[in-house]
């Protein structure tokens, strides 16, 4: 029965992609509708997101908790019409201490060398740090489940970036030391994942 259900879903998804391939001219209109439906559906299933939809600018903004103390950050999901991209963005820090700008740039550079996905952006004029994921609009257009994947992946990666800049801005740690610690944390995380996969397959 499970195999039959899975086969029906695969057929449904295949026909959906074929339909969308024949309607590429409506890519941005459909993707914007999908993005709004994603948040609407999440709330109907108990997520209780508080979000704002900005129709003219084509972005949705919300706040997610980033630690056990329920501190939050502002996240945005932007449909870039001219660049044909879906962008996930988080405000890592707003109005940081201007005296730390040099160290902020040093840490951002190290993190961008480490990151496999996403980019850390610094605007020194307004002392703001952002972290972005960008994907071509065709990916979530043809595979609607990719919106959820993008949201979750960006959020999980953002926690590391927030941690790194907290070490710098709140605890005055050295940028090089922070980058090294993050590499160590990621290595331990990979080893743990590999170990769990071996246990589950044995």
Each residue of 152-198: pLDDT tens digit? 999 999 999 999 999 999 999 999 999 999 999 988 988 887 777 66
End-to-end CA distance of the chain: 27
Other Cβ atoms less than 10 A from the Cβ of 64: the count is 14
| Domain boundaries of the chain, sorted by first residue | 2-201
pTM: 0.84
Collapsing DSSP states into helix, strand and coil, what is residue 169? helix
Short-list 4, 62, 27, CA closest to 144: 27
Mean of the pLDDT values across residues 51-60?
97
CA–CA dist 3, 83 (Å, integer): 40
pLDDT digits (tens, 9 = 90+) for 78-137: 999 999 999 999 999 999 999 999 999 999 999 999 998 999 999 999 999 999 999 999
At residue 160, the 3 state secondary structure works out as helix
Element (DSSP H or E) covering residue 33? helix 27-44
- The per-residue b/e assignment along 43-54, b for 16 or more CB within 10 angstroms, e otherwise, is eeeeeeeebeee
């Amino acid at each position: 029965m499970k195999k039959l259900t899975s086969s029906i879903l695969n057929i449904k998804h295949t026909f959906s992609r074929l339909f969308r391939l024949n309607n590429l001219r409506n890519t941005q209109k459909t993707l914007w509708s999908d993005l709004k439906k994603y948040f609407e559906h999440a709330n109907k299933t108990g997520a209780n997101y508080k979000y704002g939809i900005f129709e003219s600018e084509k972005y949705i903004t919300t706040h997610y908790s980033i630690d056990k103390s329920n501190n939050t950050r502002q996240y945005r999901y932007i449909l870039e019409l001219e660049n044909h991209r879906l962008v996930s963005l988080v405000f890592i820090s707003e109005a940081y201490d201007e005296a730390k700008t040099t160290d902020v740039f040093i840490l951002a550079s190290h993190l961008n060398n480490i990151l496999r996905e996403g980019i850390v952006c610094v605007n020194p004029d307004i002392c703001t740090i952002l972290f972005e994921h960008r994907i071509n609009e065709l990916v979530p257009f043809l595979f609607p489940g990719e919106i959820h994947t993008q949201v979750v992946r960006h959020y999980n990666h953002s926690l590391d970036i927030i941690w790194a800049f907290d070490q710098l801005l709140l605890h005055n740690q050295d940028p090089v030391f922070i980058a090294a610690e993050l590499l160590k944390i990621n290595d331990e995380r990979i080893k743990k994942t590999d170990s769990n996969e071996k246990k589950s397959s044995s």
